[in-house]
């Protein structure tokens, strides 16, 4: 059996050049980041500029009040992958007892009780300070221009607003004022502004300009201090004191304090890595889901190339089964470490010995069980396995009360791209945004910003954005590795990827998609590393993912033995997967994934970039 050849047709070309490459989930962010490269900025300047534009142009997928993770290398240390940690912790008063006393058995999917301390803005500013070259006003000019003068709003943004319109009108009036003033929805393509966010950006820029510190780093730190301790922090805390509607169908006030906001600083961490087929794959630690991809690769390392072909029934089956085993371990063991030296069970989970024990569990038929492994010295956590969930308040009040939950892909059949007429429930899951940049010097960064989307919680009118909802990934059961704990990070799904070979970074990639992010990226890695596909060929190839584990997002249900596939996988392959016991849901031909990627050949200096045609908004640019 030979590996399936890539399709000759690709939706876009794989871009090639030697100057610099950018790929992201929105063409305006890509264009702005590339403009920074053209004006002499490096990959980090470009990524920060593009990221602040993503706040504006994809407000249903990320925002300033959300979080982000990145993984990168510098040209001066090409063999040292680092993680940009922009995941804020739970507020100190976010305790299991408090949430239980509020009548909750799950952390809500929307509202202030779902909010971690915002981490994205501080993280981007740390990256700019430590590794960029531009001044803050130059970097923020692109985003400020779109916030002040308007940007053509996406149809998907309009669809999202429409799906939560009743919630906004009845319960979140500040969001209604921002996104549907005078109860009028924007139309796709209308120029939409955000005056409050423009003023906030101006105040951050002013803080950097008026500091007495003479260094560039000091000016950026002055803006960071204004964010963490100044007008932004005060507005967040004051606004959160008023109870408002949550996805539970009940009203609650937030618990975030000034001390919570002042106490968080983004940081740079060492990446977690494994070697697969001679390539080093770099991810976050176990406070993110990234190591689940590494575990999956360690399991798959023991199979032949033919068994790792996602376009065949044997390959798809093997991949799905390995993913279910790794993600079960994610639920059983992953969480924020107690300290910098406490790696918990991760070293064992990523070992070849453990991978062999997990590999032996894969048979010719699909498992419908939740099967975490056994790690010496640790007891695996078994979450409540719900196939359905509701609350008395939701049953009484109907869909509008829970419209803004999960991550924001509208809940259309089997994860398909939803048009406005498919938005009856407004339930949202599994998406965010992404940006990759590589420059001519060899700096490379992959970053996944998310959270703080417009439907996460009510808009804070003084600031022009809302808080995120990352705490919904924590459990209200003591003893869970990702139990809600004040001061600890929720186990995020944000999981960008960096690939190195022979001590040099060769690829940066990522995808929106919640629990699907690493599942879709795995297919890309297998097709490029094992199958020899070009980046665009790998992105365009048919995708699939498992849903046979508890979801990371409210209401945290699972579908035993289930997998979602694109129809282009083919009738023969799909039928054989069903024959092996997989519960298959068809998603349509072009529904699963939003991958973007950049690559670099260290020997020749050739750069490449590619972006996903799915969703009709991601783009790559470069020369």
Domain 15-269+431-622 -> CATH class: alpha beta
pLDDT band at 426 (very low <50, low <70, confident <90, very high): very low
Q: Which residue in 391, 441, 614 sits closest to 43, CA to CA? A: 441
pLDDT band at 425 (very low <50, low <70, confident <90, very high): very low
Report the C-alpha gap between 250 and 378 in whole angstroms: 37
Q: What is the pLDDT of residue 69?
A: 98
Percent of residues, the chain, with pLDDT higher than 70: 92
Query: Two tokens at 527?
Result: 């097709």
Report the C-alpha gap between 535 and 249 in whole angstroms: 44
Q: What is the pLDDT of residue 210?
A: 86
Percent of residues, the chain, with pLDDT higher than 90: 89
Residues 186-210 have pLDDT tens digits of: 999 999 999 999 999 999 999 999 8
User: What is the mean predicted confidence (pLDDT) over 508-530?
Assistant: 97
Report the C-alpha gap between 70 and 266 in whole angstroms: 11
Residues 598-623 have pLDDT tens digits of: 999 999 999 999 999 998 999 999 99
Query: Two tokens at 252?
Result: 């609650």
Report the C-alpha gap between 12 and 385 in whole angstroms: 41
State the CB neighbour count (10 A cutoff) for residue 304: 11
State the CB neighbour count (10 A cutoff) for residue 170: 13
Count of residues making up the chain: 623
Q: What is the pLDDT of residue 222?
A: 97
SS (H, E, C) 399-465: HHHHCCCCCCEECCHHHCCCCHHHCCCCCEECCCCCEEEEECCCCEEEEEEECCCCCCCCCECCCCE
Report the C-alpha gap between 201 and 381 in whole angstroms: 43
Q: What is the pLDDT of residue 282?
A: 98
Residues 42-60 have pLDDT tens digits of: 999 999 999 999 999 999 9
Question: How is residue 9 annotated by DSSP?
Answer: -
pTM over 0.75: yes
Q: 369-379: buried (b, 16+ CB within 10 Å) or exposed (e) per residue? A: ebbbbebeeee
3-state DSSP call for residue 60?
coil
pLDDT band at 344 (very low <50, low <70, confident <90, very high): low
Q: What is the pLDDT of residue 428?
A: 40
User: What is the mean predicted confidence (pLDDT) over 234-255?
Assistant: 96
User: What is the mean predicted confidence (pLDDT) over 77-101?
Assistant: 97
Report the C-alpha gap between 247 and 574 in whole angstroms: 36
User: What is the mean predicted confidence (pLDDT) over 156-182?
Assistant: 96
Report the C-alpha gap between 623 and 607 in whole angstroms: 8
Residues 438-490 have pLDDT tens digits of: 999 999 999 999 999 999 999 999 999 999 999 999 999 998 999 999 999 99
283: pLDDT strictly greater than 90: yes
Q: How far, in Å, are 205, 206, 213, 493 from residue 224 at the CA level?
A: 10, 12, 13, 25
- With contact defined as beta carbons under 8 Å apart, do 462 and 232 qualify? no
Q: What is the pLDDT of residue 392?
A: 66
State the CB neighbour count (10 A cutoff) for residue 390: 10
State the helix-helix crossing angle for 216-229 and 120-131, rounded to 10 degrees.
170
User: What is the mean predicted confidence (pLDDT) over 144-150?
Assistant: 98
Q: What is the pLDDT of residue 554?
A: 87
Q: Which residue in 224, 202, 211 sits closest to 137, CA to CA? A: 202
Q: Which residue in 369, 283, 345, 349 sits closest to 481, CA to CA? A: 345
Report the C-alpha gap between 403 and 400 in whole angstroms: 5
Q: What is the pLDDT of residue 418?
A: 34
Q: What is the pLDDT of residue 406?
A: 55
User: What is the mean predicted confidence (pLDDT) over 361-374?
Assistant: 97
395: pLDDT strictly greater than 80: no
3-state DSSP call for residue 505?
strand
Comparing 381-385, 399-403, 514-518, 615-619, which segment has the lowest mean pLDDT? 399-403
Q: How far, in Å, are 109, 522, 524, 543 from residue 527 at the CA level?
A: 35, 9, 5, 11
User: What is the mean predicted confidence (pLDDT) over 290-314?
Assistant: 97
């Amino acid at each position: 059996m030979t590996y399936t050849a890539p399709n000759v047709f690709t939706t876009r070309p794989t871009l090639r050049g030697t100057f610099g490459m950018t790929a992201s989930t929105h063409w305006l962010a890509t264009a702005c980041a590339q403009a920074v490269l053209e004006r002499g900025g490096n990959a980090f300047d470009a990524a920060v500029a593009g990221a602040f534009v993503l706040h504006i142009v994809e407000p249903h997928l990320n925002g300033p009040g959300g979080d982000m993770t990145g993984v990168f290398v510098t040209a001066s240390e090409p063999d040292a992958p680092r993680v940009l940690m922009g995941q804020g912790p739970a507020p100190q008063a976010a305790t299991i007892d408090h949430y239980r006393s509020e009548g909750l058995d799950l952390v809500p999917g929307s509202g202030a009780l779902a909010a971690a301390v915002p981490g994205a803005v501080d993280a981007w500013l740390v990256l700019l300070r430590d590794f960029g070259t531009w001044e803050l006003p130059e970097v923020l000019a692109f985003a400020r221009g779109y916030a002040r003068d308007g940007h053509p709003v996406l149809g998907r943004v309009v669809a999202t607003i429409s799906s939560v319109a009743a919630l906004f009108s009845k319960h979140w009036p500040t969001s209604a004022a921002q996104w549907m003033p005078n109860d009028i929805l924007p139309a796709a393509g209308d120029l939409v502004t955000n005056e409050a966010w423009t003023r906030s950006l101006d105040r951050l820029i002013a803080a950097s300009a008026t500091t007495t510190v003479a260094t560039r780093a000091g000016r950026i730190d002055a803006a960071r201090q204004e964010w963490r301790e100044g007008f932004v922090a005060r507005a967040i805390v004051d606004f959160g004191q008023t109870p408002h509607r949550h996805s539970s169908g009940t009203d609650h006030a937030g618990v975030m304090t000034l001390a919570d906001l002042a106490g968080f600083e983004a940081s740079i961490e060492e990446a977690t890595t494994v070697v697969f087929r001679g390539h080093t794959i770099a991810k976050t630690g176990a406070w993110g889901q990234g190591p689940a991809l590494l575990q999956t690769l360690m399991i798959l390392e023991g199979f032949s190339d033919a068994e790792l072909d996602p376009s065949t029934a044997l390959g798809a089956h093997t991949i799905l089964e390995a993913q279910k085993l790794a993600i079960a371990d994610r639920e059983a063991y992953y969480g924020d470490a107690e300290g910098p030296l406490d790696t918990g069970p991760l070293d064992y989970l990523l070992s070849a010995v453990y991978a062999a024990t997990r590999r032996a569990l894969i048979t010719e038929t699909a498992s419908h069980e939740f099967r975490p492994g056994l790690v010496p010295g640790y007891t695996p956590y078994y979450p409540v396995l719900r196939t359905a969930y509701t609350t008395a308040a939701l049953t009484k009040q109907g869909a509008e009360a829970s419209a803004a939950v999960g991550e924001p892909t509208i809940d259309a059949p089997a994860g398909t791209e939803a048009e406005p007429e498919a938005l009856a429930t407004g339930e949202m899951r599994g998406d965010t945004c992404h940006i990759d940049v590589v420059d001519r010097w060899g700096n490379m960064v992959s970053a996944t910003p998310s959270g703080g989307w417009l439907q996460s919680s009510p808009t804070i009118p003084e600031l022009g954005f809302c808080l995120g909802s990352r705490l919904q990934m924590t459990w209200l059961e003591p003893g869970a590795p990702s139990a809600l704990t004040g001061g600890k990070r929720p186990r995020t799904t944000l999981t960008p990827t960096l690939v190195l070979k022979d001590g040099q970074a060769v690829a940066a990639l990522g995808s929106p998609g919640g629990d699907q992010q690493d599942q879709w990226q795995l297919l890309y890695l297998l097709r490029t590393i094992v199958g020899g596909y070009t980046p665009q060929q790998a992105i365009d190839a048919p995708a699939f993912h498992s849903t046979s584990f508890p979801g990371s997002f409210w209401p945290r249900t699972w579908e035993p033995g289930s997998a979602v596939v694109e129809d282009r996988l083919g009738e023969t392959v799909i039928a054989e997967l069903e024959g092996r016991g997989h519960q298959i849901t068809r998603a349509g031909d072009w529904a699963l994934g939003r991958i973007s990627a950049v690559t670099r050949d260290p020997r020749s200096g050739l750069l490449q970039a590619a972006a996903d045609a799915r969703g009709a908004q991601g783009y790559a640019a470069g020369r």
